[in-house]
A and B are shown apart, each in its own frame.
Chain A
């Protein structure tokens, strides 16, 4: 598994789960906060839609096949007012996303915790992690 690295974490994941409790649906109901995941791939599309934004990316699995993954982030209005712009992360960008796997392991969806671009720029659940309004 060179492109997907599964890790086990403990308390910190529970804390994160609690911190996003005021989102539009229960993340903990859909995603397993005990099952962290790291995925490296190429951005296909970023959809700034309600109630939550989605980051779509293509990821090569161990067999060299491309799998389409979708990671759910925060509400787009919050991200945009936090300084995020559609032009920041473009199609074709190489990114690494860490987050949490869906409770249905056959679904290639996850909750985004952190996105790191090739130049090291980081984004969190609600967009930029730097700047006056960063979360």
Chain B
């Protein structure tokens, strides 16, 4: 019996030593699987190109809890001026413009590139950055050659954007909005005025991570700027958004239903 146990013990010891020796190797493998550095464009600035999401589609396994739902976060509507607080009381889900396929001025999950959704795409060149959203099929052109905002552009749902580089951070200034969208969707009352201005700061931390910070100002509606919680996006495992239409065929029925007493 002893003769048979001894070799087994020896095997266990050998196995343990092998595991200990292997541990640094595994750690090295783990370290080497870290995302590489952010790629750069021909002009040396970080290349923001890619499809960016929170790690999963809405409703999918692993989808992140939206930062917008953090109960401790300061919300846009909490900064309403007194008259806006009163106006907000008259609005509800039934008034949400997105029910009729009108996108938001900002984004449901506090990511403007996503608009009403949870995925967006950036196509970047040294002179122009393009933001694409999947759900509402919209785009935004962001010139980066130092030109000012256009003076021939009528106000739009998504505004007029210009961009510049502050070191490795891409800064986007968006103005010239209409006042007939909400900042967000899902029935969260978040109207704004045509004085809305959004400043965003994009930073590609590494090959797979994009951080976005934003400040929202609306001196006609808010008591002060709203600093949006920082959003951390992941590079999606696919390289192109789907092309999908928005339809509002059932909008009237949905609005009637949303108007019913709860």
Chain A interface residues (CB < 8 Å from chain B): 19-26, 29-31, 47-51, 54, 70, 72, 74-78, 80-82, 102-104, 106-107, 109, 125-126, 133, 135
Contacts and interface: CB of A to CB of B under 8 A. Distances in A.
B225 interface: no
A22 B66 contact: yes
Contacts of B94: 29
Could you say which of B109, B136, B238, B242 has the most chain A C-beta atoms within 10 Å of its C-beta?
B242
A72 B250 contact: yes
Contact of B98 (A29, A51, A109): A51
A74 to B, nearest CB: 5
Contacts of B60: 78, 81-82, 126, 133, 135
B223 interface: no
Interface residues of B, number: 46
Given A50-B136, A77-B134, A25 B63 contact: no
A34 B241 CA distance: 36
Contact of A25 (B119, B187, B245, B249): B187
A77 B98 contact: no
Query: From DSSP, what is the main secondary structure of chain A's interface residues?
Result: loop
B59 A50 contact: no
Contacts of B260: 103-104
Query: From DSSP, what is the main secondary structure of chain B's interface residues?
Result: loop
B119 A77 contact: yes
Interface stretch (B35-43, B80-88, B251-259): B251-259
B52 to A, nearest CB: 14
A30 B93 contact: yes
Contacts of A104: 253, 256-257, 259-260
B244 A54 contact: no
Contacts of A109: 250, 253-254, 257
Contacts of A51: 98, 101, 116-117, 135-136, 246
Contact of B258 (A23, A30, A76): A30
B61 interface: yes
Given A24-B135, A29-B93, A51-B135, A133 B61 contact: yes
B253 A74 contact: no
Contacts of B136: 50-51
A48 B98 contact: no
Contacts of B99: 25
Nearest to B63: A22
B6 to A, nearest CB: 46
B96 interface: yes
Contacts of A82: 57, 60
Contacts of A70: 249-250, 253
B144 interface: no
B215 interface: no
A75 B96 CA distance: 17
A109 B172 CA distance: 41
Query: Which 10 A/B pairs are nearest by Cβ-Cβ distance?
Result: A78-B57, A29-B93, A49-B247, A103-B260, A26-B187, A104-B257, A102-B257, A107-B253, A103-B257, A50-B246
7 contacts: A21-B69, A22-B59, A22-B69, A26-B187, A29-B92, A31-B257, A104-B259
B58 A78 contact: yes
B108 interface: yes
Given A25-B93, A26-B93, A78-B57, A50 B247 contact: yes
Contacts of B245: 49-50
